[in-house]
Structure 1
Amino acid sequence: MNLNATMLGQAISFVIFVWLCMKYVWPPLTALIEQRQRDIAEGLIHTENASKELELAKANGEKLLDDAKKSANELVEQGNKRRAQIIEDAQAEGEKEKARIIAQGQAEVESDRNRLRQELRAEMSDMVIETAQKLIARNLDTDANRDLVNKLIKDM
């Protein structure tokens, strides 16, 4: 009977131990396990959402990069067009300035030519008059000399 009483005492102790564990130890452990499972599930959901957001961000980043490249190319293109226009404007302005300088030079040449002609005529007239005076001094016929001088002046 000793053996039975010991076994019965151990069985009762074991049942009380199990009952105490089920009442006070098991519920907090299951609650912790359930909380951990919920945390892991939420973490997985957050990870999936984060990976989707990362893909979206990569796609948006690539789109923004493409847009930036396009706008940079457009700016370069506009700069090239503006440079070409400035060069064309400068060439046109150079041509106008060249034409103005040539016209001014031609006007100066023509003015100098006319001034020289006037000077030559005046000088020639003086020479003719001087020659006429010498002829008059030699010849006393003034009418013939006068006709000669008038003829010389008309020929100039």
Structure 2
Amino acid sequence: MNLNATLFAQLVVFFVLAWVTMKFVWPPLMKAIDERAQKITDGLAAADKAKNDLVLVEKRVGEELRHAREAATELRGGAEKQASQLVDEGRAEAARIIAAARVAAEAEAGAAAQRAKEALRDHVAQLAVAGAEKILRREIDAKAHADLLAQLKSEL
């Protein structure tokens, strides 16, 4: 066999194989490689976007926490102020009730003292009449001397 013919045949087979590979095998391989590269690129872009979204969400969460803390502090301050105001109002109401009770007790005591004075006057008048009866040894007519008894009550 001739070396030139073999070399020529191998060269033809190589080019045919290269052409078949470039025509039928290479495009699907390149397509698969391109798709894989695109998926990797999309994945990296999605990861970057997710990272940026995470940063934004963390900022938003931080702001919401700050607002919530401020609202809680404001609410607590308002509650403390309202509680203090209610305590002050309760103290004022208690003082008013105590003062009213004292006035009522003093009025009741004054009325009781007045009733006791009246009862004492009546009793003294009855004793005076009884004493006068014993002294005079005769009975005094209560109707006839009603004015005398009223005058005696008022003097006592």
Short-chain TM bin: 0.7 to 0.9
The letter of the residue matching 1:51 is: K
- Aligned positions of 1:32-111 closer than 5 A: 32-111=32-111
Q: Distance in 2 between matches of 1:124 and 1:75?
A: 71
Q: Distance in 2 between matches of 1:40 and 1:127?
A: 124
Unaligned runs of 5+ residues in structure 1 are 139-148
Identical-pair percentage: 29
Q: Where in structure 1 do 4 or more consecutive aligned residues deviate above 6 Å?
A: none
The letter of the residue matching 1:92 is: A
Question: Is 2:117 the counterpart of 1:122?
Answer: no
Relative to the length of structure 1, the TM-score reads 0.83
SS at match of 1:49: helix
For 2:131, the equivalent position in structure 1 comes to 131
The letter of the residue matching 1:115 is: R
Bigger RCO (CA 8 Å, 6+ sep): 2
The letter of the residue matching 1:86 is: L
Q: Distance in 2 between matches of 1:45 and 1:132?
A: 126
- In the TM superposition, residue 155 of structure 1 has moved relative to its aligned partner by 5.4
For 1:20, the equivalent position in structure 2 comes to 20
Residue-pair matches, total: 145
Q: Distance in 2 between matches of 1:99 and 1:40?
A: 86
For 1:142, the equivalent position in structure 2 comes to none
- In the TM superposition, residue 51 of structure 1 has moved relative to its aligned partner by 0.6
SS at match of 2:98: helix
Unaligned runs of 5+ residues in structure 2 are 139-147
